[in-house]
Structure 1
Amino acid sequence: MKKQTPISPTAAAGRCTLVGAGPGDPELLTLKAVKAIRAATVLLVDDLVNERILSEHARPDARIVHVGKRGGCKSTPQAFIERLMITAVREGETVVRLKGGDPFIFGRGGEEVEHLREAGIECTVVNGVTAGLAAVTSLGVPLTHRDHAQGVVFVTGHAKTGAGAHEDATDWRALAATAHSARLTLVIYMGVAGAAHIERELLHGLPGDTPVAVVQHASLPQQRHVVATLGRLQAAIAEAGLASPAVIVVGDVLQGLAAASVDAGAGRFGT
């Protein structure tokens, strides 16, 4: 890749910050995120960012550019977003790249930092609450537990496509075997569209009665979820009518919820 020309010492140099907006609830913003948003003259905003964050914290004169990043929908090309960031910084703007969740957990923040550095621009990153954590917290269960899970794995269910993509980006069978033997919770982002394949592959290493939960719109008033077993993952998603954006959680930390769902009979679906 051809490197960008670094900013010259005499050029008007702005600055850039990647900010995690959290899973949706504006009250889950960090104080540092609010400070960065309030200082921004240009905000490049993903689709999943709550509009209240902008109305409550962005400057009235800030230029807000919606650059759309939503699974299963048409998205603004990543290269175009990166060019916008670099151009705005070189024009002396205070740029905030506002991303849902955390910039460094499936937010392509790592790629953006690399491109900025190639252009001679250093970037600050402000972490946000990631959807996988917010999803299980909203259900009243942890990601780790001394009796049920000794660790957690965050994994994408939507592999990279096109140039540079790996044919088998995620070895679900190996991951399932490791999760079973090491007692790990699996948190799968962007996995609803491929749920049937994920279910089929995970069953090679995990029991069919392993508890699962699927949480859509985590932390928002319209949140919905379903609790089921791994052997019914795809069926439960279809029956509940869930869609992206959603997080799939797999593991024994959900045992209490799964037992409650069984006791309640058909009461597997929640809001």
Structure 2
Amino acid sequence: MRWRGRRGSENVEDRRSSRGPAMAGGGSILGILFIMLLVWLLGGDPLAILRGLPQQQAGGGGGMPAQINPEDDQRAQFVSVVLADTEDVWGEQFQQIGKRYQDPTLVLFRDAVQSACGFQQAATGPFYCPLDQKVYIDLSFFDEMENNLGAEGDFAQAYVIAHEVGHHVQNLLGISEVVHRQRTRAGKEEANELSVRQELQADFLAGVWAHHAQQNWNILEEGDIEEALNAATAIGDDRLQMESRGYVVPESFTHGSSKQRARWFYKGLKTGDMDQGDTFSIPYDQL
């Protein structure tokens, strides 16, 4: 993917150097203070507790510094450029339908993060929180994609970012709120189907972004489309269930099958037309 030399977004919030109020070793700050008080009451040296902690743990509630390797910094620059591309593309698309696009913030974090949607571990994967209109991503997820899912390449990573921004587009258009209300009244299987429809539409919107980014900046290199389709396939519910359980339960799908995810991304990529991404009016077995 051609991404160097273009502007990066100003809407990136970098929390990678902060591990938050919890100690990396699992104990809270209040817990450490309690132990220090207990040691003092017993006649010991409470500062010995701090001296015994790893350097990373001795910080205050504002967050503990963590090492950021150069590869992570390059990925952060890449993420910033892709986010800027989504801002430009969706700004243009919203203008064409008489609306104003509001840029989301993208939060880079490590290990765990606090969002308006609650506390999340990195194992959750990238996610979008509609309550604060922020995309959250731990860059180590890209390692997970390459090493464990077989989804390599920078355009595969761009697809993941564009998918989460697709959820932001859904939020701005009021789609997310409608789906949320419907899911709260639905049974489990119907709620899962609504979730699949919403996720597949986000895949489609990621494709729409790629279509217009290619028109605007000629971003695609040989093999890029295959990278994105491979990534969409790798994170299909059927493939993930087969790898983790050894069998597939379609009724429990929440994101769509590998074939569905690749199909909807490709449709967005080929058409670039937001109007062709209605995944909610199609019969479920025809998605």
Band the TM-score falls in, shorter-chain normalisation: under 0.3
TM-score, structure 1 normalization = 0.26
Pick the structure with more helix per residue.
2
TM-score, structure 2 normalization = 0.25
Pick the structure with more strand per residue.
1
Query: Higher Cα Rg: structure 1 or 2?
Result: 2
